């Protein structure tokens, strides 16, 4: 069956720092300037001012949901001091969605934190949970009518970034190689990326994040009617011959402890792009290939079906929203082909009983890919000088899928 269930959400996702521009109080703003090899976010896509145009593009194409994030560093630029203007701004974004019949899916923290939070020890500080919960409590003032709320985005990738940054600070390896970007696939880079994946496979980090998430969930449940969850980066990892035991070990720290953290949530966000093998030594560096994406990952649209099946198994059936799936490519027909195959795999998993409530593509816009501008994930191109939006054929294609509520 190609049809999807009634009320299935069809949308696209973004994140504040990647699109808004001028996010001067965040840890990433500072980091971009101090890290060799990173490009600057600067004005990004200027979506802080152009959000209404972005939501209109999405809605007119036929999509009915929009995932975006609140920027903690704008809402709480100084510890304990909350900006009414920033809160009002994000309420206007919510209202712009509702006015167009678009379901907002709000992420309260997408990779960035206030710089003051980072300087005070970030997530590993003993006060991290209280600080985050204080911020989350404040956001509940603007969440009326928002049905889907994620406390944080990809805590497992945030753990990886923490590790990568520690490495950069220790100057052990020199330049920034983002865990989200396996670019410049020299053998040495790939080995380093693979080692890095192991470095953050510490289940204690996962449990720490889960504790903070649960504390935030409690406040959201007390004060709002939202369905609460978080989103997890799904690796769709597989075992190479002889790698079965190592796969279980690596996947537990890197992923499963986070899926476990979502038990008891109202939903969980699955974010899948590619797949990787694990052998007896750990994640196997992925070789260069003509079909590789602009971030160096393998072309693996089947990763989405694999990811939702695995998430359903480990969470014990928590309802799933696909909150990210997409491909970094300059070739829009390849994006359409990838997405069609990914959706076919998703549909097959649903036929087998996996409870999926929506699909939100990454990303609505060509945006700032965490230190890089080159990888383009967008359904809409953005001129970096004029900020003019230029929808790609993939936007109309996905809008048609949404209108039909199924693949042709
Ligand atoms: C993140 C996004 C990122 C995307 C593509 C996810 O890890 O949530 O912020 O742009 O993957 O790399």
Q: What domains can be seen in the chain, in order of their start residue? A: 9-404 (3.20.20.80)
Question: Which residue's alpha carbon is at the smallest distance from atom 4 of ligand 1?
Answer: 180
14 lines ligand 1 (CB under 6 A): no
How many angstroms separate the alpha carbon of residue 180 from the centre of ligand 1? Answer: 6
Reply yes or no on whether the pLDDT at 260 is more than 70.
yes
Question: Which residue's alpha carbon is at the smallest distance from atom 9 of ligand 1?
Answer: 15
What does the pLDDT read at residue 273?
Answer: 97
Residue 180 Cα: closest atom of ligand 1: 12
28 lines ligand 1 (CB under 6 A): no
9 lines ligand 1 (CB under 6 A): no
A 10 A CB-CB count for 154 gives 25
How many angstroms separate the alpha carbon of residue 273 from the centre of ligand 1? Answer: 9
Handedness of CA 335, 374, 44, 74 (dihedral sign): positive
Is-cis flag, bond preceding 363, omega within 30? Answer: yes
15 lines ligand 1 (CB under 6 A): yes
Q: Which residues pair with 276 in a beta bridge?
A: 237
Q: Using an 8 Å Cβ cutoff, are 53 and 12 in contact?
A: no
Residue 154 Cα: closest atom of ligand 1: 8
Is-cis flag, bond preceding 214, omega within 30? Answer: no
Tokens in use for 88? 């009002």
Q: Where is 80: in which H helix or E strand?
A: none
366 lines ligand 1 (CB under 6 A): no
Strands 148-153 vs 227-234: parallel, antiparallel or unpaired: parallel
Question: Which residue's alpha carbon is at the smallest distance from atom 10 of ligand 1?
Answer: 369
Q: Report angle CA 27, 113, 257 to the nearest 5 degrees.
A: 120
Kindly report, residue by residue over 185-241, the tens digit of the pLDDT: 556 666 666 555 555 678 999 999 999 999 999 999 999 999 999 999 999 999 999
Kindly report, residue by residue over 149-169, the tens digit of the pLDDT: 999 999 999 988 887 777 666
Reply yes or no on whether the pLDDT at 107 is more than 60.
yes
Using the 8-state DSSP alphabet, how is residue 253 labeled? Answer: I
Contacts with 212 (C-beta within 8 Å, 6 or more apart), sequence order: 123, 128, 129, 132, 133, 151, 152
Question: Which residue's alpha carbon is at the smallest distance from atom 3 of ligand 1?
Answer: 369
What does the pLDDT read at residue 175?
Answer: 61
Taking all residues of the chain, what is their mean pLDDT, rounded to a whole number?
93
Contacts with 347 (C-beta within 8 Å, 6 or more apart), sequence order: 1, 2, 4, 406, 407
233 lines ligand 1 (CB under 6 A): yes
Least confident range from 107-121, 289-303, 322-336: namely 289-303
Residue 1, SS3 per DSSP: coil
How many angstroms separate the alpha carbon of residue 278 from the centre of ligand 1? Answer: 22
A 10 A CB-CB count for 292 gives 18
157 lines ligand 1 (CB under 6 A): yes
Residue 15 Cα: closest atom of ligand 1: 9
Q: Using an 8 Å Cβ cutoff, are 127 and 83 in contact?
A: no
Closest-CA residue to 278 (of 253, 305, 312): 253
- Is 242 or 194 the better-scoring residue by pLDDT? 242
Give percent of the chain above pLDDT 70: 91
Residues across the chain? 408
Reply yes or no on whether the pLDDT at 177 is more than 70.
no
């Amino acid at each position: 069956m190609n049809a999807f269930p009634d009320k299935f959400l069809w949308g696209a996702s973004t994140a504040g720092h990647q699109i808004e521009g001028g996010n001067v109080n965040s840890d990433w703003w500072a980091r971009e300037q101090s890290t060799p090899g990173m490009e600057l976010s600067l004005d990004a896509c200027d979506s802080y001012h152009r959000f209404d145009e972005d939501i209109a593009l999405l809605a007119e194409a036929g999509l009915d949901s929009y995932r975006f994030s609140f920027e903690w560093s704008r809402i709480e630029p100084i510890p304990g001091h909350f900006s009414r203007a920033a809160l009002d701004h994000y309420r206007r974004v919510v209202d712009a969605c509702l006015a167009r019949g678009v379901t907002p899916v709000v992420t309260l923290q997408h990779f960035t934190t206030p710089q003051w939070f980072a300087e005070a020890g970030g997530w590993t500080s003993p006060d991290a949970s209280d600080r985050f919960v204080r911020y989350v409590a404040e956001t509940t003032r603007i969440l009326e009518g928002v049905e889907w709320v994620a406390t944080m985005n990809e805590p497992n990738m945030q753990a990886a970034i923490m590790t990568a940054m520690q490495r950069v600070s220790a100057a052990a390896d020199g330049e920034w190689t983002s865990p989200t970007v396996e670019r410049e696939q020299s053998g040495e880079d790939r080995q380093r990326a693979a080692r890095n994946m192991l470095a953050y496979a510490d289940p204690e980090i996962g449990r720490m994040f889960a504790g903070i998430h649960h504390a935030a969930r409690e406040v959201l449940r007390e004060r709002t009617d939202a369905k609460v969850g978080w989103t997890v980066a799904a690796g769709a990892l597989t075992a190479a011959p002889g790698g079965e035991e190592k796969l279980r070990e690596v996947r537990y720290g890197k992923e499963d402890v986070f899926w476990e953290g979502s038990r008891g949530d109202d939903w969980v966000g699955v974010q899948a792009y590619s797949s990787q093998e694990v052998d007896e030594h750990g994640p196997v560096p992925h070789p260069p290939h003509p079909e590789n994406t602009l971030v160096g990952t393998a072309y693996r649209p089947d990763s989405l079906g694999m990811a939702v099946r695995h998430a359903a198994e480990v969470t014990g059936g928590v309802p799933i929203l696909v909150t990210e799936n997409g491909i970094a490519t300059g070739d829009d027909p390849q994006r359409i082909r990838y997405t069609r195959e990914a959706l076919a795999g998703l549909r097959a998993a649903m036929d087998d009983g996996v409870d999926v409530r929506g699909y939100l593509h990454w990303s609505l816009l060509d945006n700032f890919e965490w230190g890089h501008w080159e990888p383009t994930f967008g359904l809409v191109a953005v001129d970096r000088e004029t900020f003019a939006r230029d929808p790609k054929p993939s936007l109309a294609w996905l809008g048609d899928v949404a209108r039909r509520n199924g693949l042709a």
